[in-house]
Chains A and B, each alone.
Chain A
């Protein structure tokens, strides 16, 4: 469960002009949700996702992951939290170019200290779910965009995090590949029980999710 209480976030772009990017946001997301943050460009979707993912600090308010309050954690503690509890899917795939698909998928598990046999088994499992099991030995640059993004999803999901945060995962994909990705993420959401939060303005994503949370100019909009 994710709980936000009166979260505020400001960006300071050179002193006098500040951006109030998140305005007093309070919301709860239950385990296993398949949810989208939606809204116009610049409304604060990414900022909110980063705050939940412990990538960025907030100026006031509290964020809880289950019982854990994450806004007061140190940089190092947040790094550990991200490693152990959160999976990320980025717009630009962001795979490690020198590692094969298999190594990319197993990378986080390896960092967390899973055994090689566990990693191998799990990598095969998620790779076949995402239909990339025939590409395991390739390097990322040899893959299509859709395939790379599926590798990124596989990497995020492999270590069984509680939540996966996906910021514009379909932005670089055509509609066919977007649909395929959403279908597969849906399947993961159901099979593995992992919560997945999207930030996107892609209609296709909106149609796939269970719940849409609207943001406007940094504040929640009551739908």
Chain B
């Protein structure tokens, strides 16, 4: 039956070539598209991790949900001591976040003002890289403010201008001060650029009475793939039920969800594409089978069973799919691999899509054997499904009628 199938494939060249090419092309497109989608999601995450969010962040319980001064971390030093013992932790830094009113001339706005350790943040995040005007905060800077480009625009300030700040200190007392604009940054995360400003903790702590106090501690890990493992180690070591240590998967839930929705839409459009391919392959199979109704009828007359016929059709599509996929897989795999190392660069993409958290013009592909294998299996499955209708079509003819079919 197998060699019979092979002979049919060689004989009915038109159908074979069409099926082969369609399978080949759809496999390549499918694998590459999925790889591109996964890869760009991956890089979106990595980029936003690089900009400001940490792979792991440690909070006092309820700070994230309720907020307020009761839920600040009040023994930063002891936690930091413990963190330095965790092997997978590369670096960490505490942040003191508060909301205050910034005013300059006639303009004022609410802003997230964050006390940071400038030296450490330089290594943890892209804050310094995002500098567009003036200078980055120096350790020990006095009342200097590093502000987002959106903030600068709203307040209509330039380097050297003095901004007044009104807010509440960690003991709920009222605080007011004057800051000088020292630098302006633009990360590309527009929400962030429109509201965040930074001050060196050294100065800010005196003002806010926040020495050894933090809103949270951000942690950079050595290996992002091991983040869950490292996080559980941290939780064990902290051993404090008033603290919670969260990974980016929780912290950036909304982003992860957005990407999931994006993936779903991606898969929907892919499925439409595959359905079209499926029908084309099926139609070609069907046309082929229709032209062979008489032949199948004769075969049935002389004693070929339905099982034999199914096997025959199965082998035909199996051989064709296998050949196409054997050829397509390494090619698609190589494309994915190549672009995972040398990402495609689209000039201006970051600018256009900055609202979506895209901060780089590069689209790296993901290269993942598991993903590629299930992609291939799916196409195999679809191809094999495509013989079902032709099979039933053949069997809808009685053998004698079919044998006289013209």
Contacts and interface: CB of A to CB of B under 8 A. Distances in A.
Given A55-B399, A55-B400, A56-B398, A98 B303 contact: no
A98 B294 CA distance: 14
Q: Which secondary structure dominates chain B's binding surface?
A: helix
A4 interface: no
Given A55-B400, A79-B300, A90-B403, A98 B305 contact: no
A50 interface: yes
B253 interface: no
B202 interface: no
Given A56-B398, A90-B403, A97 B303 contact: no
Among B295, B301, B305, B398: residue with most chain A CB under 10 A: B301
B306 A83 contact: no
Given A76-B306, A79-B300, A84-B303, A99 B400 contact: no
A161 to B, nearest CB: 10
Given A96-B295, A97-B295, A98-B7, A82 B302 contact: yes
Interface residues of A, number: 25
Contacts of A223: none
Interface in B46-69: none
B184 to A, nearest CB: 75
A175 interface: no
B49 to A, nearest CB: 60
B8 interface: yes
B326 interface: no
Contacts of B398: 56
A88 B305 contact: no
Interface string B278-312: 00000000000000001100111111111010000
A56 B399 CA distance: 9
Contacts of A83: 302-305
Contact of B299 (A56, A80, A96): A96
Contact of B8 (A76, A98, A111, A155): A98
A168 to B, nearest CB: 11
Given A88-B301, A96-B295, A111 B7 contact: no
Among B4, B8, B294, B308: residue with most chain A CB under 10 A: B4
Among A50, A56, A82, A87: residue with most chain B CB under 10 A: A82
B10 A98 contact: yes
A130 interface: no
Contact of A79 (B8, B305, B400): B305
A111 B4 CA distance: 11
A88 B298 CA distance: 9
Given A55-B399, A56-B398, A90-B403, A97 B301 contact: no
Nearest to B12: A98
A94 B399 CA distance: 13
Interface string A36-78: 0000000000000010010110000000000000000000100
Contact of B301 (A82, A96, A98): A82
A79 B303 contact: yes
Contacts of B304: 79, 83, 111
Nearest to B10: A98
Interface in B213-269: none
B11 interface: yes
A108 interface: yes
B370 to A, nearest CB: 39
Interface in A93-132: 94, 96-99, 107-108, 111-112
A76 B301 contact: no
A88 B10 contact: no
Contacts of B8: 98
A82 B300 CA distance: 9
A152 to B, nearest CB: 10
A156 B302 CA distance: 8
A56 B400 contact: yes
Nearest to B307: A76
Contacts of B10: 98
A50 B7 contact: no
A96 B5 CA distance: 12
Contacts of A94: 294-295, 298, 403
B302 A108 contact: yes
A111 B400 CA distance: 19
Nearest to B395: A75
Nearest to B298: A94
Nearest to B304: A111
6 contacts: A53-B301, A55-B400, A83-B303, A94-B294, A97-B11, A111-B308
Closest 5 pairs (CB-CB, A-B): A83-B303, A98-B11, A94-B298, A98-B7, A82-B303
Given A90-B403, A94-B295, A97-B11, 12 more contacts: A55-B301, A55-B399, A76-B305, A80-B305, A90-B301, A96-B299, A98-B4, A99-B4, A99-B7, A111-B303, A112-B303, A155-B302
